[in-house]
Amino acid sequence: MNKLVLCVCVLLILSMPLSAGLLGISAGVTGGVENWKMDVEGAESQSLTAVGITATFSPPIIPLGFRGDIEYAWKDVETPLGEVKLSDVFIMVGVQYSIAPPLSPASLYIGAGYEISTIGSEYAEYLTDDPSSLTDNGFLVYGGVNMSLGLFAVFAETGYGMIFSDDNNYTHIPLRGGLKFSI
């Protein structure tokens, strides 16, 4: 029985992502595209350019971690009311589960989180007459691959998010890549 417990512990340690770093903290930059589907006439589906920062805390040996993201997305769009600048700031806080083959620099991860979205003012005037309803919340589920390069790691991910608004609900599918530094 003791040998079985020891084997399970060794396999768990070997399957821990190598990119976790000594303290399990990583931070970095992201870039990509936010594909939106909105219930707004003239702007039903848009792809916005997005940049952001991300931070993850994954304690060593435990494949479950916490993640936070801040992202800004933008695009100029021609609508029936003229040119409108779409902009959105997303803040996401969530949990993430990672798994890696033994001694591999690559790891896969999935996660889910609570998201807050703040719509840019010019677009908000097009959506509603009430500027106080510009910040809404929702959820994001995501998954990706992380490739460790020593203290640095590159990653690529996608997901599905839904923001709930009093006036309009919308979904977004992020396609992101980035670079993280682990300590």
Q: Is the pLDDT of residue 134 over 70?
A: no
Sorting pLDDT into bands at 50, 70 and 90, what band is 131? very low
Count CB neighbours of 45 within 10 A. Answer: 11
Q: pLDDT digits over 31-78, tens only?
A: 999 888 866 555 567 788 999 999 999 887 788 999 999 999 988 877
Q: Provide the pLDDT for residue 21.
A: 58
**Which 3 state secondary structure label does DSSP give 20?**
helix
Q: How far is residue 149's CA from residue 84's CA, in Å, rounded to a whole number?
A: 41
106-119/152-164 β-pairing = unpaired
- Residue 143 · residue 128 · CB < 8 Å: no
Q: pLDDT digits over 70-128, tens only?
A: 999 988 877 676 677 778 888 999 999 998 888 888 999 999 999 998 876 565 455 55
| The two structure tokens encoding residue 84 | 């409108």
Please give the radius of gyration of the chain, using alpha carbons only, rounded to the nearest integer.
Answer: 19
Domains within the chain, CATH numbers bracketed: 2-182 (2.40.160.20)
Amino acid found at 5? V
- Residue 87 · residue 125 · CB < 8 Å: no
For tokens 């350019």, name the residue. 49
Paired strand residues for 156? 145, 177
Q: Provide the pLDDT for residue 129.
A: 55
